[in-house]
Amino acid sequence: MRFACDTGGTFTDLIVEDGSGKLSMYKAPTTPEDPVAGVLDALGLAAIDFKMDRADFLAHGTMLIHGTTHAINAIVTGNTAKTAFLTTAGHPDILVLREAGRIEPFNFHVPYPEPYIPRSLTFEIPERVGSNGKIVEKFDEAAVLRVIAKLKRAKIEAVAVCLLWSIVNPVNERKIGRLLKKHLPGVPFTLSHQLNPALREYRRASSAAIDASLKPLMARYLGGLTERLGAAGFAGRTLVLTSQGGMVDARDLAERPIHAINSGPSMAPIAGRHYSGGERKTPNAIIADTGGTTYDVSLVRRGRIPKTRETWIGRPYRGHMTGFPSIDIKSVGAGGGSIAHVDGGEILHVGPESAGAVPGPVCYRNGGDQPTLTDACLVLGYLDPNFFLGGLMKLDVAAARRAIEQQVAKPLGLNVMQAAWSVVGVATENMVQAISEITVNQGIDPADAILIGGGGAAGLNSVFIARRLGCRELVIPETGAALSAAGAMMSDLSSDYRAMFFTSSADWDEAGVNAILKDLEASCKEFATGPGEGAQTTKIEFSVEARYAGQVWEIDVPLRKSRLRGKAALVALIADFHDAHEEVFAVRDDGSVVEFVGWTASVRCRLGSGRAGRVRHSAAEDIVLGKRKVYFENHGRVDTPIHSLQSLKTGQRKKGPAIIETPFTTIVVDPGASFLLARLGSVHITA
* CA–CA dist 254, 258 (Å, integer): 9
How many CA atoms are closer than 13 Å to the CA of 14, on its beta-carbon side?
Answer: 24
Residue 347 binds other proteins, judged by CB under 8 A: no
Single out the segment in contact with other proteins by CB under 8 A; choices: 44-52, 99-107, 260-268, 642-650: 99-107
User: What is the C-alpha separation between 618 and 183, in angstroms, rounded?
Assistant: 58
C-beta neighbour count of 37 within 10 angstroms: 16
Regarding 119 and contact with other proteins (CB under 8 A), the answer is yes
Residue closer to other proteins (CB basis): 109 or 567: 109
Q: Are strands 237-241 and 63-67 parallel, antiparallel or unpaired?
A: parallel
User: How many CB atoms are located within 10 Å of the residue 569 CB?
Assistant: 18
Q: Tell me which of 19, 100, 185, 619 binds other proteins, using CB under 8 A.
A: 100
Residue choice 19, 33, 78, 109 for contact with other proteins (CB under 8 A): 109
How big is the CA angle at 88 (ends 316 and 130), to the nearest 5 degrees?
Answer: 100
Kindly state the number of chain residues that form the binding site for other proteins, as judged by CB under 8 A.
Answer: 54
The residue from 189, 234, 548, 664 that contacts other proteins (CB under 8 A) is: 548
Regarding 406 and contact with other proteins (CB under 8 A), the answer is no
- The Cβ of residue 551 has, within 10 Å, a number of other Cβ atoms equal to 14
Shortest gap between Cβ of 588 and other proteins (angstroms)?
8
Site map 439..468 versus other proteins, x via CB under 8 A: -xx-x-x----------------------x
3-state SS class at 214? helix
Closest CA to 14 of 22, 330, 23: 23
Phi, psi of 208 (to 5 degrees): -65, -40
Would you count residue 155 as binding other proteins (CB under 8 A)?
A: no
Q: Between 32 and 92, whose beta carbon lies closer to other proteins? A: 92
Closest CB 313 distance from other proteins, rounded Å: 19
Q: Which is nearer to other proteins, 154 or 235 (CB)?
A: 154
Cβ-based nearer residue to other proteins, 321 or 489: 321
Closest to other proteins by CB, 100 or 568: 100
Task: Output DSSP code: residue 301.
Answer: B
Contact range with other proteins by CB under 8 A, out of 86-94, 178-186, 403-411, 528-536: 86-94
Site string for other proteins, 126-145 (x = CB under 8 A): --x-xx----x---------
CB of 272 to other proteins, least distance (A): 22
Confirm or reject binding of residue 259 to other proteins (CB under 8 A): no
Contact 47, 14 (CB under 8 A): no
Query: Residue type at 585?
Result: F
C-beta separation of 620 from 626 below 8 A: no
Of the candidates 180, 169, 186, 171, the one whose C-alpha atom is nearest the C-alpha of residue 144 is: 180
Of the candidate residues 186, 345, 413, 550, the single one contacting other proteins (CB under 8 A):
550
Which of the residues 514 through 533 are near other proteins (CB under 8 A)?
none
Strand residue runs (E) in 101-217:
122-125, 128-129, 135-137, 158-162, 189-191
Q: Is 448 helix (H, G, I), strand (E, B) or coil?
A: helix
**Cβ neighbour number for residue 433 with a 10 Å cutoff:** 12
Burial 131-143 (b: 16+ CB within 10 A, else e): eeeeeeeebeeee
Q: Under the criterion CB under 8 A, does residue 504 sit at the interface with other proteins? A: no
Binding-site string for other proteins from residue 466 to residue 495, where x marks contact by CB under 8 A and - marks none: --x---------------------------
d(CA 24, CA 60): 15
Using CA atoms, how far apart are residues 481 and 479, in angstroms rounded to an integer? 6
Q: Do 127 and 162 form a contact (C-beta atoms < 8 A)?
A: no
Is residue 506 a contact residue for other proteins (CB under 8 A)? Answer: no
Could you say which residues in the range 568-607 bind other proteins, by CB under 8 A?
581, 584-587, 589, 592
Nearest distance in Å: CB 342, other proteins: 22
552 binds other proteins (CB under 8 A): yes
Q: Where are the alpha helices (DSSP H) in 609-672?
A: none
Query: Please, what is the minimum distance in Å from the beta carbon of residue 592 to other proteins?
Result: 7
93: contact with other proteins by CB under 8 A: yes
- Nearer to other proteins among residue 383 and residue 435 (C-beta): 435
Min. distance of Cβ 641 from other proteins in angstroms?
A: 31
Of 101, 185, 344, 413, the residue at the interface with other proteins (CB under 8 A) is 101
Pick the binder of other proteins from 49, 52, 91, 391 (CB under 8 A).
91
Which residue type does 78 have? G
The least distance separating other proteins from the CB of residue 544, rounded to whole angstroms, comes to 16
Choose one: 17-25, 27-35, 100-108, 529-537; the region binding other proteins (CB under 8 A).
100-108
Contact call for residues 615 and 476 (beta carbons, < 8 A):
no
Considering only 48, 56, 76, 102, the residue that binds other proteins (CB under 8 A) is 102
Which of residues 76, 103, 135, 347 is near other proteins by CB under 8 A? Answer: 103
Binding test (CB under 8 A) with other proteins, winner from 107, 281, 511, 679:
107
| From 55-63, 288-296, 486-494, 552-560, span contacting other proteins (CB under 8 A) | 552-560
**Cβ-based neighbours of 293, under 8 Å, separated by 6 or more:** 8, 9, 10, 333, 335, 337, 338, 354, 356
> From the CB of 308, what's the least distance to other proteins, in Å?
12
Stretch that binds other proteins, among 10-18, 199-207, 393-401, 634-642 (CB under 8 A): 199-207
Q: Which is nearer to other proteins, 497 or 548 (CB)?
A: 548
Q: Tell me: cis bond preceding 352? Omega within 30 of 0 counts.
A: yes
Burial of 304-342, coded b for 16+ CB within 10 Å and e otherwise, reads ebbebeebebeeebbebbbbbebbbbbbbbbbbbbbbbb
List of residues contacting other proteins (CB under 8 A):
90-93, 96-112, 118-120, 128, 130-131, 136, 164-165, 199-202, 436, 440-441, 443, 445, 468, 548-553, 555, 581, 584-587, 589, 592
